[in-house]
Amino acid sequence: DSGVTQTPKHLITATGQRVTLRCSPRSGDLSVYWYQQSLDQGLQFLIQYYNGEERAKGNILERFSAQQFPDLHSELNLSSLELGDSALYFCASSVGPGVSNQPQHFGDGTRLSIL
């Protein structure tokens, strides 16, 4: 058990819809990262938050957004969903930037299926 909790585990929805994925980081971790794993693109970094503030953006689409709340949990919002958004979405957490040799610990992921 990595200590990172993601809900829901599975999500099935239709094109054009909007969904919210939730992540609770490990106790003590201030940084949250979101990744997308798809057959086409592999594992891609989407976005990072640190202590409530956006720190870095990766290959995140404009239809996607995220935020980190004061209790440090994070939500990834996906809107105007397309078939190509079907993927496994991972959340990871770490202590935070500036701490050397810190690994990222991953949650079990949310599998999103667009019908």
Partner 1 sequence: AQTVTQSQPEMSVQEAETVTLSCTYDTSESDYYLFWYKQPPSRQMILVIRQEAYKQQNATENRFSVNFQKAAKSFSLKISDSQLGDAAMYFCAYMEGIGGGADGLTFGKGTHLIIQP
Q: Using an 8 Å Cβ cutoff, are 92 and 3 in contact? A: no
Put residue 21 in one of left, alpha, beta given phi > 0 → left and psi -120 to 50 → alpha.
beta
Spatial distance between the Cα atoms of 27 and 20, rounded to a whole number of angstroms: 22
CB nearer partner 1, residue 11 or residue 45: 45
Q: Does 108 bind partner 1 (CB under 8 A)?
A: yes
CB nearer partner 1, residue 14 or residue 39: 39
Return the range that interacts with partner 1 (CB under 8 A); candidates 13-21, 30-38, 64-72, 77-85.
30-38
Q: Does 33 bind partner 1 (CB under 8 A)?
A: yes
3-state helix, strand, coil in the chain (%, to 5): 5, 50, 45
| Binding-residue pattern over the window 62 to 91 for partner 1, x denoting contact by CB under 8 A | --------------------------x-x-
Surface-to-core class of residue 79, CB atoms within 10 Å of its CB (0-12 exposed, 13-18 middle, 19+ buried): middle
Q: Does 58 bind partner 1 (CB under 8 A)?
A: yes
Query: What are the residues facing 101 on neighbouring strands?
Result: none
Binding site for partner 1 (CB under 8 A): 2, 31, 33, 35, 42-48, 55-58, 88, 90, 92, 94, 97-101, 103-106, 108-109, 111
